[in-house]
Structure 1
Amino acid sequence: MDYLEFKITCLEEFREILIAELAEIGFDSFLETETGIDAYAPESDFDREAFGQLIESYREAAEISLTEGKMPKVNWNEEWEKNYDPIAVDDLVYVRASFHEPQPNFKHEIVINPKMSFGTGHHATTFQMLRHQGELDHQGRRVLDVGSGTGILAIMAHLLGAREVEAFDIDDWCVDNGNENFDLNGLHTRMGLGTIRQVNPQGPFEIILANINKNVLLDEMAIYAGLLPSQGHLLLSGFYTQDIDDLVNAAKPLGLNLIKSSEKDNWAALILQKE
């Protein structure tokens, strides 16, 4: 399968926004560069009209320029090795790929070989979710990771002492990649395939993790609330800071109260608790 390659130059503060937007229209791999991002989409089902509209909507504000090319099937592992750097979330966790050296001065370590999946800790939403996980007691808890991606949040829950972790994603590539990452980190569970309605997880879960996007979170909020026991926690991210009120207002009638919010690079994350 051939891929279309777009080398996009843009303002630094728009990189993650563009990655999120492009992922919504079929792009499945990204590399951050010194001047912007390289974005890749399968040629076979590329939506050029949606791509053109997206670029035009950000062109002026983000100062976008781009070049387009075509490339044959890529050795994505090799590409990630060239461009993937380890990250640290405070002293809580060191996230690295298998080709990086371990670091001893962290409470936990996660090994992620991301291939084309999302959730490596580099994105501001994943970073904040990991930090918020570190603030909650996972010991002996049942944890549900909704839209698990690479599986990084499920792995974090396991390292923090969760008794049971369930995870799923709508993308079969993410499921395969997530299961590989589970194996690398000693998490003996399998990631499910489908939406939360299709997978139909059976509660209660004391902690639910959902790093997706605003529309999905709003659509599924009542399901999350129904799976949580009293005093259970719901961690949300995947939306911009200007969307916080919409999420909080949707959660409150369901008995979910805001405990904490954070923001990084205009991306927000929330900790909610059920009454």
Structure 2
Amino acid sequence: MAIFELAHFPEPGVQAEHRKRDYFIAAFTFVTTAACLIIDSFAPIEMQTALAVCGWMFLLGFLWGECKYVRVQVLIAVAFATIGENFASLFMRGYIYRFENLPAYVPAGHGLVYLTAVALGRSGLFQKHARQIAVLVVVVCGAWALWGISGMAERQDTIGFLLFCVFLLYLFKGRSPMVYLAAFFITSWLELVGTTAGTWAWAEIDPASGLTQGNPPSGVAAWYCLVDAVALQGSSLLFKSLDVCSSWLQRRMDIKS
């Protein structure tokens, strides 16, 4: 079986619509994410609440224009990512925020990040140039991962290289490669901005495995791809379950009538 499979990639030359909404969501999230993380790097802890309120307002506003499937995916992503943040940061201490808490804006931020991955993944740009973008991502992320274990990086990044390998599995074996491709861009961006600004820092030694990791790990997008995969599969299972329940109730009503 081939390692790299393109069965779930759009066909070359596919006709795809360039929707301004998709690009606006992406541009908005890239800009506001950077602004939020930079502000939180020096502002008092109370500012996190104000940033959270703004985040939820914009997220709910964007979701107003989405279908029910995307809305449910975003809600699942927010719930799963928030649980993961509490475990990975507050309990395991794999990375630590500036005030050693879970900032109030993080749940809404994860919702915006997931929605951005969906919007970019379905955009005309990504649909038409899927294979070229995939090559770019693999080359850039691969070079980053190799640099992290080469001895030239400030910190040895064994975890980053392993996560890069996991990311490749998501990209070429997963059923939603366009979402994972888009996730690489937005998640790498927010991780580089957040760690550079000092909003959070990754532990030099991963507490779960004892392996070295960068700040951030080079393949950190793989963690976000896990959130995306849970959101996509979770929403699918939820709607299938609702359909089964609806069919069962309908049969019961038919029998009684």
Task: Select the structure that is richer in strand.
Answer: 1
What TM-score do you get using the length of structure 2 for normalisation?
Answer: 0.23
Structure number, greater radius of gyration? 2
Which protein, 1 or 2, shows the higher relative CO under an 8 Å CA cutoff with sep ≥ 6? 2
Task: Select the structure that is richer in helix.
Answer: 2
